[in-house]
């Protein structure tokens, strides 16, 4: 048995990979992530294979694609007897612990009496308790499903049937919980711990002391479209935005400024956690991982509080690995592609453990450690079982290579981008280069067959075209793809 390192993962929600200082974003300060990258590695071409919360989290913890994994869509749960990264590490002798947002175990009726019987208007957010069988094998538990209430955090601890309420901003108070847990940790076992926070996911609110950005002074991406309407989370009826809580200045720039403030607060908390680990000799041998389940448009292509599409702002995520003695300092590298589907196999490889045959992702640990291994040159991307909040929430399958990105939507619409010539994906080449489009279509079909695609290959090969549809929604919204 190899010497097993501790593995500490910080998982955020909706942090796009471009929004770090060392990744080149001129608007943001991320000193903790920059230090981790400098002493380890930050992957500039890391991709969320399915860019929406629940199935992406299923991919992270299973090493399987959403269409063939234990969490196959936004309203799914981690299947009760499905293996996971946590169960593999437990079998190798690890203690496992999970703190924060899970979003892979919502069972609609699992609402405890204190929430069910609360006076109307006194409790908001999704407060279901995660059943033990849907926790993917994690043992120590201090978590919730999907609150989207950053100043009204409640967690379920281990086997408790009622939630425990925490006072303060979510990222701050959950980091405090982890720091207390690590200080008290006295087991003679390596630890696999996940700290999962909702920010910078909407609602875009943060303690006032983090609000330093002038919206008008922000340097925006070339595909950024400002407009006077506040974002509405896709204009979902009833809304996920909680407008009464969000001080919109009626511009996408204001939303972007709030977002940057949330990321900087997150970075500060990552710094606190790393300082604690580095000061504790018990955690001298630790592999630290930071990533996010997907990105966020934040004004790019005119969308905000959205992901779900195959564009870079949506699918690119941070992936930073650090481990003195195990990972050679490499800094920011974009010489290959890595997907969240590869993360579980790679972390097992970092621990010197074998990768089970049931995982679909690749073990990139040798390349990540700075050795001779190579990163993949292609990643399968998809949207599987998209929540149908409006007509723009479509399923699709796609792929990305070192230079190109291709996607096929359920409507028959195809996207083809040359990322070298058009990094902001503003010119769809699908109609101009039909031969290249056809070649990528065949390559995509091969990838889908290799990964046990249940149906979308039929849509690609035998689809009959989608009828033009009229939109009768009360509020009109931007549709990125027809």
Question: CA 420, CA 401: separation in Å to the nearest integer?
Answer: 11
Fold exhibited by the domain 396-462: Arylsulfatase, C-terminal domain (3.30.1120)
Residue 35: other Cβ atoms inside 10 A:
17
Question: How many CB atoms are closer than 10 A to CB 454?
Answer: 11
Report residue 309 as tokens: 């599409």
pLDDT tens digits, 177-235: 999 999 999 999 999 999 999 999 999 999 999 999 999 999 999 999 887 554 444 33
Q: SS3 for 433?
A: coil
Average pLDDT, the chain: 92
372 HSE (CA, 13 A, CB side): 0
Mean pLDDT computed over 88-93 = 97
Give the C-alpha separation, 467 to 45, whole Å: 36
Percent of the chain with pLDDT over 90: 84
| Beta bridge mates, 57 | none
Q: What is the pLDDT of residue 279?
A: 98
Q: What is the pLDDT of residue 463?
A: 87
Three-class SS of residue 8? Answer: strand
pLDDT band at 120 (very low <50, low <70, confident <90, very high): confident
For domain 6-377, give the fold.
Alkaline Phosphatase, subunit A (3.40.720)
Q: Would you state the structure tokens that stand for residue 431, as one six-digit string?
A: 């109609």
- The whole-number average pLDDT for the span 335-345 is 97
* Domain residue extents for the chain: 6-377, 396-462
Pairing of strands 286-292, 319-322: antiparallel
CA distance 156 to 164: 6
Segment 133-150, tens digit of pLDDT:
999 999 999 999 999 999
Contact criterion met (CB below 8 Å) for 78 and 105: yes
Q: What pLDDT does residue 228 have?
A: 53
Tell me the C-alpha to C-alpha distance, in Å, between residue 481 and each of 269, 387, 472.
Answer: 37, 16, 17
Question: Which contiguous run of DSSP H or E holds residue 100?
Answer: strand 95-101
Token pair belonging to 107: 């069972």
Predicted TM-score of the model (pTM): 0.94
Q: Rg (Cα) of the chain, in Å, rounded?
A: 21
Sheet holding 404-409, edge to edge: 378-383, 396-401, 404-409, 414-418
Q: What share of the chain is helix, strand, coil (3-state, %, to 5)?
A: 30, 15, 55
Q: Are 199 and 293 in contact (CB under 8 A)?
A: no
Residue 237 has pLDDT above 50, yes or no: no
Q: Where are the alpha helices (DSSP H) in 24-169?
A: 31-39, 53-62, 85-91, 113-116
Mean pLDDT of 393-419: 97
> What's the pLDDT at 476?
67
């Amino acid at each position: 048995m190899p010497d097993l390192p501790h593995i500490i993962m910080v998982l955020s929600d909706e942090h796009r990979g471009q929004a770090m200082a060392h990744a080149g974003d001129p608007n943001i300060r991320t000193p903790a992530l920059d230090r981790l990258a400098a002493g380890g590695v930050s992957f500039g071409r890391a991709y969320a294979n399915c860019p929406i919360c629940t199935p992406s989290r299923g991919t992270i913890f299973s090493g399987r694609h959403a269409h063939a994994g234990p969490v196959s869509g936004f309203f799914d749960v981690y299947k009760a007897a499905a293996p996971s990264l946590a169960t593999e590490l437990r079998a190798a002798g690890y203690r496992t612990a999970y703190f924060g947002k899970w979003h892979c175990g919502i069972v609609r009726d699992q609402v405890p009496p204190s929430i069910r019987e609360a006076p109307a208007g006194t409790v908001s957010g999704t407060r279901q308790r995660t059943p033990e069988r849907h926790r993917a094998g994690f043992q120590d538990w201090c978590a919730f499903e999907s609150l989207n209430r950053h100043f009204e955090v409640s967690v379920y601890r281990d086997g408790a049937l009622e939630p425990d309420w925490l006072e303060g901003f979510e990222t701050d108070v959950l980091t405090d919980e982890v720091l207390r847990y690590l200080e008290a940790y006295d087991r003679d076992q390596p630890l696999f711990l996940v700290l999962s926070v909702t920010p910078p996911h909407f609602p875009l609110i943060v303690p006032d002391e983090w609000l330093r950005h002038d919206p008008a002074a922000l340097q925006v991406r070339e595909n950024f479209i400002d407009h006077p309407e506040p974002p509405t989370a896709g204009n979902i009826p009833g809304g996920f935005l909680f407008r009464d809580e969000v001080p919109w200045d009626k511009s996408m720039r204001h939303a972007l400024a709030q977002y940057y403030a949330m990321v900087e607060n997150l970075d500060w908390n990552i710094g606190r956690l790393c300082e604690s680990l580095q000061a504790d000799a018990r955690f001298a041998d630790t592999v630290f991982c930071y990533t996010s389940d997907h990105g966020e448009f934040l004004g790019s292509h005119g969308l905000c509080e959205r992901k779900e599409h195959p564009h870079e702002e949506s699918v690119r995520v941070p992936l930073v690995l650090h481990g003195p003695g195990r990972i050679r300092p490499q800094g920011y590298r974009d010489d290959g592609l890595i997907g969240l589907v590869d993360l579980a196999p790679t972390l097992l490889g970092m621990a010197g453990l074998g990768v089970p045959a049931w995982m679909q992702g690749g073990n990139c640990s040798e390349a990540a450690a700075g050795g001779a291994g190579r990163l993949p040159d292609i990643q399968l991307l998809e949207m599987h079982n998209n929540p149908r909040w409006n007509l723009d929430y479509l399923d699709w399958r796609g792929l990305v290579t070192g230079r190109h990105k291709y996607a096929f939507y359920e409507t028959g619409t195809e996207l083809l981008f040359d990322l070298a010539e058009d990094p902001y994906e503003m010119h769809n080449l699908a109609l101009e280069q039909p031969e290249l489009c056809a070649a990528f279509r065949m390559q995509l079909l091969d990838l889908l067959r290799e990964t046990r695609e249940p149906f979308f290959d039929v849509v690609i090969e035998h689809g009959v075209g989608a009828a033009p549809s009229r939109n009768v929604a009360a509020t009109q919204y931007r549709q990125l793809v027809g």
